[in-house]
Amino acid sequence: MHITDFDYDLPPELIAQYPEEKRDEARLLVVDRKKDEVYHKRFFEIIDYLNSGDCLVMNDSRVLPARLFGVKRDTGAKAEFLLTRRLEGERWETMVRPGKKLKPGSTVDFCTEPGRALSAEILDYGADGTRIVEFSCDGSFHDRLEENGHIPLPPYIDRQDEALDREMYQTVYCREEGSVASPTAGLHFTEDLLDKIREKGVKTAYVTLHVGIGTFRPVKCEVVEEHQMHFEEYSVTQENADLINDTRKNGGRIISVGTTSARTLESAATDDGTVLAGHGSTGIFIYPGYRFKAVDALITNFHLPKSTLLMLVSALYDREKMIGIYEEAVRRKYRFFSYGDAMFIE
């Protein structure tokens, strides 16, 4: 397959720059794969498409305030860090700007206030232009990061992060801190909607996959099959694995909330669809031709042209039909990407 097989025209004005004021009032495009039909709804109506005995599987990863702005200690020049992965202790793999001036041996100060100081020394070069850095701080690193860090909004959101993003770029069920991007399909759920879904007899299970910076990196290979995915850490507890597996045994559907949950489930599943508890690192690349083992249906947002995420949703349905659905979403002026509208592929 060629990367252009997953292209579509998207007017820039359809890229959502802010979330809906009420999470569950985003629009919802429902894809009925059996009937080859689509329906246009609001997200709170998702409950009408869920059945007692189904199981929603959600990624409970929490977004770090991973973007830091500081100054080089020796020159006072401005510097920007984006934490991408904790290595050990307070040592991190980090993207930096300006790259040419931030070399091993450099120290960057983010706050020099006594009792609240935060700084980092660049130790070495990392993979793909990153740096290995070690932080020093007064008190708790977590507290200093919360005080100085910014929510790392995706590059297609053309603004600085604001106070509202601290809440709205997190799911209401996030728990495990470690992502640099939100599992955005889950942003549409409210506590009230989840309560109503559970009252209907739908189970809710959680997995954890910490979203890395690779989620923003474009596919550079012209031939899809040659692309190499980035690796991300995931975990599934025994309690949640049992809940998912019991759902399948009892004839319910496993409905993945988002592509990160889907990649976790497919990485943790055996060939017969049994999900195994444990920790792992996955670089699974799902594109048309892939046979899903654990995922029966998917709630997702609208994804970038030529992206691995668009390839994943196309694998669950049909590439040509999915591109046609995206083109219809453009005609109907759905809002796209992280803060945009949602799709349910059932």
Per-residue model confidence (pLDDT) at position 219 = 87
Are the C-beta atoms of residues 259 and 207 closer than 8 Å to each other? no
Residues 290-317: pLDDT tens digits?
A: 999 999 999 999 999 999 999 999 999 9
Residues 76-134: pLDDT tens digits?
A: 999 999 999 889 989 999 999 998 899 999 999 999 999 999 999 999 999 888 999 99
pTM of the full predicted structure? 0.94
**Strand residue runs (E) in the chain:** 27-32, 37-42, 55-59, 61-63, 67-72, 78-88, 91-97, 107-111, 118-125, 131-137, 176-179, 203-209, 232-236, 254-257, 278-282, 297-301, 342-345
Residues 190-239: pLDDT tens digits?
A: 999 999 999 999 999 999 999 987 766 778 899 999 998 888 999 999 99
Per-residue model confidence (pLDDT) at position 216 = 62
Per-residue model confidence (pLDDT) at position 127 = 86
Per-residue model confidence (pLDDT) at position 215 = 66
Antiparallel, parallel or unpaired: β 27-32 and 342-345: parallel
Per-residue model confidence (pLDDT) at position 228 = 87
The answer to which of 9-23, 178-192, 211-225, 324-338 has the lowest mean pLDDT is: 211-225
pLDDT band at 329 (very low <50, low <70, confident <90, very high): very high
What's the rounded Cα separation, in Å, for the pair 117 and 108? 11
Report the percentage of the chain scoring pLDDT > 70: 99
